[in-house]
Structure 1
């Protein structure tokens, strides 16, 4: 009995005759310390495929403080990023280079320079800019670094570019991050869902120890979170990322081309930024969450 999961409450969903919120608690000893991979494997591993279930959706998690403390979390955080960039009191402004695929490394670097010289703080790779035949990753890193240094010299401001270090394997990812550090750029990027939580945690640890900021792209999230009755909500993926490690994450927006409800979006933005978040069902926050820092 000591290791059983327990359903301690069932709540009807207004307007739905055959759907319910079930609140389930698991003993903390079931989970390996500091492992998002093990946590998700245990909670959402096989249960979503059971024949007895028509559909199942994980809406939220409450991670107890004792378990939160076993994770290192973001490599640096908001204040350290502002200190590195020497930019305070305003939002940071950036853009993704378009067309994201098809440019040569030299032309890509030129586009980065023009954006940074024109006033942006950052430019960025998109999620599928990795190392294609028309633009190999090392060439891109070199031309982008040149664009950063040139724009910094001309504007007197610190600039950056989110260099996507996502690679076919973890060793390649770590090597790309190392090369980015050698070029002296301030930030790298990772596709944490397609790349995997184990790889992401390794990259976050490297960035923490080597002074690199880490931007996270959520490519593939809608496969998991868009269906209303099956899968898991993005707030769960955001919490998992905060534990695995990332300095900032694509969170969606209330406007633009991608789906996003205003109150719910603001709810999981707070989950990523604040140290303590009160339960607020109007914003989709099912549990009070303490991040312990």
Structure 2
């Protein structure tokens, strides 16, 4: 009782440069139809005439390598743990130890925003101190993914402006919980101001983990490429999160 359907839409049905409108149109109501027991969107193909209306990645991997002056090898990073509970000063100390020990990047986790025990501005200041200290001692350019995700677009952009003023090279955003509109706004800011943009996929499994309903993560990855992001948390084939090798590598392709 399962069928595969191919659906084509005329381009005039969609607003240019709007992932929000694209998804509202193709998955907005159809998944709630009573006639359907289950429905899964496996893939989308966006013609060049439409994809060219989107911002796409603010910079891309070549610009990132140029900013870091690192070529010919993968970039190595880690997420600071414990993700929650550290003071801003202790968080900055952990960042320094990781970068001083040889990592290219460290990053905030998806739910590190601006909690009472570590407000975002304090975290950014201590992380910037760790960043510049490790750079001075190693002679390498380092980075930390500063999470700009916030409750409003205005607050999110405020959290993106401060890293630029500090001289940090990269910010990050939770694009599914934050929303495509907010993400595209942030991507435009990053492109205009020379900031790299890392994207976390928090909440993806609610949408893509069921095999008979929802949508495949490749659809969400393509949506992110349209909305704007230099790289996305695509999962891994080891560790505590689910993921298959071939599928995960397919997101890279």
Tell me the SS of whatever aligns to 1:111.
helix
Q: What is the match of residue 104 of structure 2? A: 121
Bigger Cα Rg? 1
Note the 1:104-253 alignment, pairs <5 A.
Answer: 104-253=87-236
Calculate the aligned-residue CA RMSD, in Å.
0.5
| Count of residues paired in the alignment | 253
Find the aligned partners of 1:260 and 1:218 in 2 and give their Cα distance.
13
Note the 1:61-72 alignment, pairs <5 A.
Answer: 61-72=44-55
Tell me the SS of whatever aligns to 1:132.
coil
Find the aligned partners of 2:235 and 2:112 in 1 and give their Cα distance.
20
Tell me the SS of whatever aligns to 2:4.
strand
Deviation string 1:16-54 (CA, Å, 9 cap, x unpaired) is xx1011001011100000000000000000000010000
Deviation string 1:110-130 (CA, Å, 9 cap, x unpaired) is 000000000000000000000
**Residue 254 of structure 1, CA deviation:** 1.6
Find the aligned partners of 1:25 and 1:269 in 2 and give their Cα distance.
25
Taking structure 1 as the reference length, the TM-score comes to 0.86
Out of 67, 72, 81, the position equivalent to 1:98 is 81
Q: What is the match of residue 50 of structure 1? A: 33
Which has the larger share of strand?
1
Find the aligned partners of 1:184 and 1:219 in 2 and give their Cα distance.
27
**Residue 154 of structure 1, CA deviation:** 0.2
Structure 1 unmatched runs, 5+? 1-17, 271-293
Find the aligned partners of 2:246 and 2:128 in 1 and give their Cα distance.
38
Q: What is the match of residue 27 of structure 1? A: 10
Find the aligned partners of 2:100 and 2:237 in 1 and give their Cα distance.
29
Find the aligned partners of 1:84 and 1:21 in 2 and give their Cα distance.
45
Q: Greater relative contact order: 1 or 2 (C-alpha under 8 angstroms, separation 6 or more)?
A: 2
Moved over 6 A (4+): none
Find the aligned partners of 2:123 and 2:40 in 1 and give their Cα distance.
40
Structure 2 unmatched runs, 5+? none
Note the 1:261-272 alignment, pairs <5 A.
Answer: 261-270=244-253
Q: What is the match of residue 63 of structure 2? A: 80
Find the aligned partners of 1:64 and 1:113 in 2 and give their Cα distance.
45
Tell me the SS of whatever aligns to 1:23.
coil
Find the aligned partners of 2:176 and 2:250 in 1 and give their Cα distance.
21
Find the aligned partners of 2:111 and 2:250 in 1 and give their Cα distance.
28
